[in-house]
Structure 1
Amino acid sequence: MTSTPGTPGSLDPQIAARLKRGPDGLVPAIAQQYDTGEVLMLGWMDDEALHRTLTTGRCTYWSRSRQEYWVKGDTSGHFQYVKSVALDCDADTVLVKVDQVGAACHTGARTCFDADVLPLAQP
């Protein structure tokens, strides 16, 4: 399923016209657990990945390192079932609320954001 990000896909033209993509044709996509609000991970989507996510009910991302589409869970068994998809106010970020089965992080952790918490300066 190798392709090039930003290539025309089947995304609704009205949605595609609103998206503000980076120079690489991608938008960040934040995956959040739908019922708890837990932030799980950040992936990247182009028009085709967003189209696939909206139409299949499973999160599809563009791998910048492998240069191909990937569906969360196809190799790991840690699926993301889509509950809702929203654009932020600038239409440059996608929020995908999912029902995460298993770990979201490639390290095996539930979330990508719990292992390296940075210290805050005390006022």
Structure 2
Amino acid sequence: MSATPALPNTTALDPAIAARLKRDAHGLVPAIAQQYDTGEVLMMGWMDDEALHRTLTTGRCTYWSRSRAEYWVKGDTSGHVQRVRSVALDCDGDTVLVKVDQTGAACHTGDRTCFDAGSLPVTGG
């Protein structure tokens, strides 16, 4: 079960942005990190209003860890920093796309992307 973010209602996220977000039951939205110049999809993490606010104002990706129940800034312990180039919401407001300049691996396994595990077979179409 996902933990609820520890700092509800402490955000300074622009109210116009906050109004567009459609959060899950825990106040979270998925955030896709994509390499800004190649389009490579790097990883998916979770953000609440505070994590998005920190991401927008610091230029570094901040996520909410559901397993550790705390905020984390990508690269603070690994050195594999994500510097934000742009942020967009999808048409439904339920997913954030963060275009980044990734230094080093994006995945906790040490791979460049979390999607290096191999393609799944597609049998239809």
Normalised to the residue count of structure 2, the TM-score between the two structures is: 0.93
**Alignment partners' CA distance in 1, 2:66 and 2:111:** 21
2:37 paired residue among 31, 35, 38 = 35
1:48 maps to: 50
2:104 maps to: 102
Instruction: Give the total of aligned pairs.
Output: 121
After superposition, the C-alpha distances for 1:60-119 in whole angstroms (9 at most, x for unaligned) are: 000000000000000010000000000000000000000000000000000000213211
Counterpart residue type for residue 8 of structure 2 = T
What secondary structure is seen at the aligned counterpart in 1 of 2:77? coil
RMSD: 1.4
Q: Tell me, which stretches of 5 or more residues in structure 1 are unaligned?
A: none
What secondary structure is seen at the aligned counterpart in 2 of 1:15? helix
Q: Tell me, which stretches of 5 or more residues in structure 2 are unaligned?
A: none
For the pair 1:113 / 2:93, whether they are aligned, the reply is: no
What secondary structure is seen at the aligned counterpart in 1 of 2:42? strand
Q: Is the 8 A contact 1:5 1:24 kept in 2?
A: no
Question: Which stretches of structure 1, 4 residues or more, deviate above 6 A after TM superposition?
Answer: none
Q: Is the 8 A contact 2:60 2:74 kept in 1?
A: yes
**Alignment partners' CA distance in 2, 1:10 and 1:84:** 19
